Amino acid sequence: MIELIYFEKNNIHEAYQVIQFRAGESWRIVREGELLGSLIKKDGDWQISGQSELAPHLIQPIGGLIDAQEFNRLPGDIKYHWSAQIQDVIPSGDAEYLVITKPGIDFDTFLKLFSAYIPNLLKVEWPILFRLYNADMSADAQLTAQR
């Protein structure tokens, strides 16, 4: 689960919880415990998904908050940097990622390279947990890294 807080630009007393329970699902917008609606990004634009009580002027700013987060950038950066070794990177939250290597990769060597360089790719100030697996899930490791 990923949870963000959006403060309305002209009224910092209006806080909205922006919650995604699983990667790829819509984002639920909650204020004072009440679900106002859900947002989803379609064809590059943020849109209301289903019934909503969310004010239309909040759709793009809340979508912008989501777009600006590390979990939108980091998986692509990791896959780009280790394109020959990594099959997939899946965010489990804003502080946890699942990393799966390609078949035939020496897992121990990859772990050494990954652990030495990953802090250079991080932009956030908090620790990030990486759960690393080889392609057939027969080997795994956990690594916590920080910028």
pLDDT, tens only, 21-69? 887 789 999 999 999 999 999 988 999 988 888 989 999 999 999 888 8
Residue 33, judged by CB atoms within 10 A of its CB (0-12, 13-18, 19+), counts as exposed
Tokens read off for 78: 């990791």
Domain boundaries, the chain: 2-67, 70-145
Give the model's pLDDT for residue 59: 93
User: What average pLDDT does the segment 126-135 reach?
Assistant: 95
pLDDT, tens only, 80-125 = 999 999 999 988 877 899 999 999 999 999 999 999 999 999 988 8
Q: Yes or no: say if 130 and 145 are a contact pair by the CB < 8 Å rule.
A: yes
Give the model's pLDDT for residue 17: 95
Query: CATH fold of 70-145, please?
Result: Alpha-Beta Plaits (3.30.70)
